[in-house]
A and B are shown apart, each in its own frame.
Chain A
Amino acid sequence: MLRRLYANELLKLVARKRSHIGFGAFVALEVAFLALLHLPRVRAAIEKLLTRNGLPVEQYFSGTTVAVMIVALTILFLGALFIALVAGDIVAKEAEDGTLRMLLCRPVARPELLAAKALACATYSCALILFIGASALAMGMAYRGWGSLFVFSPAEGVFAFHAPWPGLGRYALAMLTLALTTQTFTAVGFMFSCFNMKPAAATILTLSACFIDLLLRMTPYFESIREWFLTHHMAVWIHVFEPHVPWARIAEATVFLLAWDLTFVAVGIAHFMRRDIRG
């Protein structure tokens, strides 16, 4: 039964125009980002950064470097937005439209239906992140071509450079890590969607929760408890580019986030289990 429900949830997601907005928006954003990179002043700043660190511009201002820049600058805001849009809708929109009531006339258990929806949301988030990674790489390659990878993230304390093939391998691993860690957006959105609220409210609450977490983490006052913030662990993907992959830290962040993800999903399901569905 779960397999059938999951397949139908995926079908609904694929058929809805709204699900494709995220994909389209990211392609548009990537094109805009490339246009920005083309500005002489921006190019000069990047070239200056590379030469100051003794890295040949032609070798390190490459497709993979551009791809990492695109992902790093956009994922937290736009990625969160489009994942929240879909996850916030997944139950709340059906409740609002009345199709949830139609589904629940059937001998389907509520936890099973919700599990199928949560899995479909998780699949969507993974697909979106991997698409962002692949399209950013394609755009970067088209713009700057094949070359070595340079990653610089002062906020996370990452400064690294890699030869072309190892760099590409790290990029792939980083995207997989990112796909895994951004599931927290999905789980928060799903939880709010299970509550008795409009889909837009679920989306806004999801985004608010994520941005509040981010802002608090960046506040110096909370420096000592940074590790308790979700976005701190969600940023672990950038550490994949460190000279030596910090596997222990990645595993710790993944487990921490996974525990929260399961908690958010469980809270959503528990609330929904007691909820009256009225026409």
Chain B
Amino acid sequence: MIEIRGLVKRYGARLAVAGIDLVVPRGRIFGLLGHNGAGKSTTIGCLLGHLFPDGGALRVGGVDALAERRRALARVGAIFETPAFYDYLSGYRNLRIFAECTAPVSDARLMEVAGIVGLADRIRDRVGKYSHGMRQRLALGQALLPDPELLIVDEPTDGLDPEGIHEIRSLLLRLNREHGLTLLLSSHLLSEVELLCTDIAVMREGRVLYSGPMADLPRTEGWIVLRADPPGRAADLLLGRGWLEERRGEDRFRLRAGVSVADAVGAAVADGLRVEAAHPIEMTLEEFYLQTVHGGGDA
């Protein structure tokens, strides 16, 4: 759905995006992670044509977004962290103004979308009277008009209460599941990304350090839990076999490359130990992110 090749963007002497490559497959929920200034918003800005890149190629839905911006963005919706509206106009009029920059939109479709985002009964009110949560839902509504295939979302749950966060998350998941919408999401909330995304990319200082499906995250790094009775015997056993690289406490071990949990359990059972628990230790997304960002290497 999105293909970015060698994207470069400079702000004066500062290199904001340093020749990144990124592919967002159709129908996926793709999370863009990184600290402030990592280059996420710049990448999104270049995609939407707000910023002019200094180099590289951008394709949306197979269309060159730099040469044919109008065609590339014809079925793209976007939401920002702090959505801006014409506060002196109604929600309805705001939706119409934004949607009509893409194509004419029928009243029925407009009201349908107002219903989807839960604003049907307040859509004729002035936006100036809306709460933050309502503005966020209106932002989602305008992004869904007229009928996007790709939604670019920058901090969609920022400033919302837990209920609001849950609502927006459920809505985004439903749109992806039921309508096949592709989502490109930029967020600082790693727990949200973990709950929403099928794929992620981690950025730092304008570079992509990791990009791939969540399912393929290299999370274990060889650490396992092996709790056996009698305590302490498992460590001796693993050490004796030359499988132990590192140890934390009685039951946490980092195994040599190529040795699996099954190997360790098999050896323990064969040695007459009673195995109470055995599983790989998985990093949370937060741990993975911090390790990737502070490790500094390309994953």
Contacts and interface: CB of A to CB of B under 8 A. Distances in A.
B48 A105 contact: yes
Interface in A242-279: 274, 276-279
Contacts of A278: 45, 50-51
Nearest to B81: A279
A106 B50 contact: no
Q: What interface size band does chain B fall in?
A: 35 or more
A33 to B, nearest CB: 31
Given A17-B88, A107-B69, A278-B50, A4 B100 contact: yes
A172 to B, nearest CB: 34
Given A12-B97, A98-B80, A102-B84, A107 B41 contact: no
A16 interface: yes
B106 to A, nearest CB: 14
Q: What interface size band does chain A fall in?
A: 20 to 34
Contacts of B80: 98, 101-102, 279
A14 to B, nearest CB: 10
Given A102-B98, A103-B101, A107-B73, A276 B51 contact: yes
Interface centre among A8, A16, A106, A108 (most CB of B within 10 A): A106
Contacts of A29: none
Contacts of A98: 80, 82-84
Nearest to A277: B50
B65 to A, nearest CB: 10
A223 interface: no
Given A276-B50, A278-B50, A103 B88 contact: no
Contact of A107 (B70, B93, B142): B70
Nearest to A99: B84
Contacts of A277: 45, 50-51
A105 B102 CA distance: 9
B177 interface: no
Contacts of B98: 102-103, 106
B89 A15 contact: yes
Contact of A274 (B52, B84, B93, B100): B52
Interface of B: 41, 45, 48-52, 69-74, 76-78, 80-86, 88-89, 93, 96-98, 100-102, 104, 142, 152
11 contacts: A5-B100, A8-B97, A12-B97, A102-B78, A102-B80, A105-B48, A106-B102, A107-B69, A107-B102, A276-B45, A277-B51
Interface of A: 4-5, 8, 11-12, 15-17, 97-99, 101-109, 113, 274, 276-279
